[in-house]
Structure 1
């Protein structure tokens, strides 16, 4: 199949430091190439990809030192480039929320849109009622709850390359927090859990401008006054295996409807169990008592963190490889692409199916579902 992947332009593909959506797009794109498909990636120029790259901006927006820039203008320019080439693709896969809807109405039946963010925002229902022809993919079943009427085609959980993070058979005895310093991520809970257990806590986290006051007034005083807590700051992919692999457990004490939570599977790839509050997607990602523990109170979280070392780290890694590899994710998306093509009125079959009509369907499509 000829597939376009259209990513947000806020971070590089993959991100240099913090970033979820662009990291997932990078992993998906490379996995689709490895499975033999013709992939074109629309992204900023510093993207590292095995696909054909169409650079639409000189660099990603967040780390661009230019003092004045317009994210709207950058994304409109990218959409114009995609629209110019729309006839070249069997499927155009957008990861840009809903900004493309008005421009691609006549191509809606060849598009797929993965929604990566929270959907409980005031203005969103009107958009999905106005443009119902665009097929949508959720990254967890829980993410769909605010928009049950939307044109959902599938839920596809995130994945990442199996060889990106190395398995760590033994921890170094500390707890870890990885993500953003923001009220909904509840780093204060992580500090409280570690303190009650008397265990070291390492925090690798980004502080956005919007969360600076929260950092300065709430979290920084908790860090500065606690000898058990080490604040490392924002880290990139090359630092994560050692950081997560050395942890006895990853603390994921969220207090919001997390759409997925990529850090959970990053920890699992290292064999590290996850202590997650039962909120948003966490029950879909964490298998309670196997890859971590799901909790609802601070008392439960402290108790779970105290016995995380009893879980089998090899088994956790094995569950990651089965459920959350990049190849598993890509094959699930290929199922959705194939269904999209099959339902398109008067659509021509992809070339591979035309020239090899006698091959079995599963082999022909090459994307049998994986658990």
Structure 2
């Protein structure tokens, strides 16, 4: 099958440091290539991929030192480039929210769009009501709740290449926080939990410009005043095995409708249990009592983190391999692509081999696939 993957231009594919969507696109693209498909990636020129790369910007936006940049202009240029080559592909898979909708409305049946962000924003409903012809994929069932009427075709949980993460059979006794320093990620809760347990906490986190005041006025004073807390800063993929694998538990104390939470499965790949607040996608990702614990209060989180060392780290890694590998993710997307092809007019006559080989079952729920 000839597949186009269209990535956002904010981060490299995969990102050099923090970044979720572009990391998922990178792993999906390579997994599809490994499964024998002809894949083209539209991205910035600093992408690293086994697919054919069509660069549409000299480098990813966030690490571009140019003082003045237009992310809208960059993405419109990319959409135009994809449109010019659209006839080359059986499937065009967009990861760029809705920016392509006005341009691709006449060929929407050749596209699938994965939505990677939160969907409870004021203006989104009007867009998905206006362009119902675009098939959508959610990254968790919970993510769909603000837009139940949208044209959902499947939920596909994220996956990662297992070989990127080293399994650690034993921890080094500290707790970990990995992500962004922002109010919805609740790093303050992580510090409270570690302090209550008198356990060291290592925080590897990115501080966005938008969160600088929160960092300087709320979190940094908590870090500076607490000898248990070590702020590591932003880390890259090659540092995650050591950081997450050494942790007794990953704290995921979020306070927002998390669409997925990639760091949870990164921890699981290292064998590290996750203590997550029951919010957004966490009940779909964490098997309570097996790969971690789901909690509703600080007191519950303290108790859960205190017994996380009792969980079987090898079983946690095995669950990652079963549900969250990059290959498992790619196979689920191939089911989505096959369904899209099968529903096109004259699909059997136009692409009989592809449709027959990839025709999925009618049940597109994650439970039916896992």
Q: Which TM bucket (shorter chain)?
A: over 0.9
Residue 286 (structure 2) pairs with residue 286 (structure 1): yes
- Decide whether the 8 Å contact of 1:331 with 1:367 is kept in 2: no
* Distance (whole Å) between structure 2 residues aligned to residue 348 and residue 207 of structure 1: 51
- Partner SS, residue 162 of structure 2: coil
Q: CA deviation at 1:346?
A: 2.3
* Distance (whole Å) between structure 1 residues aligned to residue 269 and residue 360 of structure 2: 23
Any idea what the Cα deviations from partners look like across 1:128-154, whole Å, max 9, x if unmatched? Answer: 000000000000000000000000000
- Decide whether the 8 Å contact of 2:139 with 2:259 is kept in 1: yes
Any idea what the Cα deviations from partners look like across 1:22-62, whole Å, max 9, x if unmatched? Answer: 00000000000000001000000010000000000000000
Correspondence list, 1:264-279, <5 A: 264-279=264-279
Residue 177 (structure 2) pairs with residue 177 (structure 1): yes
Any idea what the Cα deviations from partners look like across 1:262-297, whole Å, max 9, x if unmatched? Answer: 000000000000000000000000000000000000
Matching residue of 2:202: 202
- Decide whether the 8 Å contact of 1:6 with 1:94 is kept in 2: yes
Matching residue of 1:224: 224
Correspondence list, 1:343-362, <5 A: 343-347=343-347, 353=353
Matching residue of 1:137: 137
- Partner SS, residue 104 of structure 1: helix
Matching residue of 1:26: 26
Name which of structure 1's ranges 344-353 and 2-11 shifts more when overlaid on structure 2. 344-353
Matching residue of 1:149: 149
Matching residue of 2:121: 121
Q: CA deviation at 1:352?
A: 7.8
Residue 358 (structure 2) pairs with residue 365 (structure 1): yes
* Distance (whole Å) between structure 2 residues aligned to residue 205 and residue 349 of structure 1: 52
* Distance (whole Å) between structure 2 residues aligned to residue 290 and residue 350 of structure 1: 47
Q: CA deviation at 1:348?
A: 5.7
Any idea what the Cα deviations from partners look like across 1:297-346, whole Å, max 9, x if unmatched? Answer: 00000000000000000000000000000000000000000000000112
Matching residue of 1:309: 309
Show structure 1 runs of 4+ deviating over 2 A.
Answer: 346-352, 364-370
Residue 105 (structure 2) pairs with residue 105 (structure 1): yes
- Decide whether the 8 Å contact of 2:339 with 2:359 is kept in 1: no
- Decide whether the 8 Å contact of 1:331 with 1:370 is kept in 2: no
Q: CA deviation at 1:162?
A: 1.2
Unaligned runs of 5+ in 1: none
- Decide whether the 8 Å contact of 1:172 with 1:246 is kept in 2: yes
Any idea what the Cα deviations from partners look like across 1:94-151, whole Å, max 9, x if unmatched? Answer: 0000010001011100100000000000000000000000000000000000000000
- TM-score normalised to structure 2 length: 0.96
- Decide whether the 8 Å contact of 1:332 with 1:367 is kept in 2: no
- TM-score normalised to structure 1 length: 0.96
Any idea what the Cα deviations from partners look like across 1:188-214, whole Å, max 9, x if unmatched? Answer: 000000000000000000000000000
Q: CA deviation at 1:349?
A: 6.0
Structure-2 change in CA distance of 1:85 and 1:216 (3 Å): same
Unaligned runs of 5+ in 2: 362-367
* Distance (whole Å) between structure 1 residues aligned to residue 270 and residue 21 of structure 2: 21
- Decide whether the 8 Å contact of 2:113 with 2:134 is kept in 1: yes
Aligned residues: 364
* Distance (whole Å) between structure 1 residues aligned to residue 107 and residue 32 of structure 2: 22
Q: CA deviation at 1:370?
A: 4.5
Structure-2 change in CA distance of 1:246 and 1:366 (3 Å): farther
Structure-2 change in CA distance of 1:307 and 1:351 (3 Å): same
* Distance (whole Å) between structure 2 residues aligned to residue 92 and residue 188 of structure 1: 41
Matching residue of 1:318: 318
- Partner SS, residue 163 of structure 2: coil
- Partner SS, residue 8 of structure 2: coil
Structure-2 change in CA distance of 1:272 and 1:350 (3 Å): farther
* Distance (whole Å) between structure 1 residues aligned to residue 115 and residue 136 of structure 2: 7
Q: CA deviation at 1:350?
A: 7.2
Matching residue of 2:340: 340
Any idea what the Cα deviations from partners look like across 1:192-251, whole Å, max 9, x if unmatched? Answer: 000000000000000000000000000000000000000000001010010000000000
* Distance (whole Å) between structure 2 residues aligned to residue 105 and residue 346 of structure 1: 20
Residue 258 (structure 2) pairs with residue 258 (structure 1): yes
- Decide whether the 8 Å contact of 1:328 with 1:370 is kept in 2: no
> Superposition RMSD on alpha carbons, in Å?
1.4
- Partner SS, residue 42 of structure 2: strand
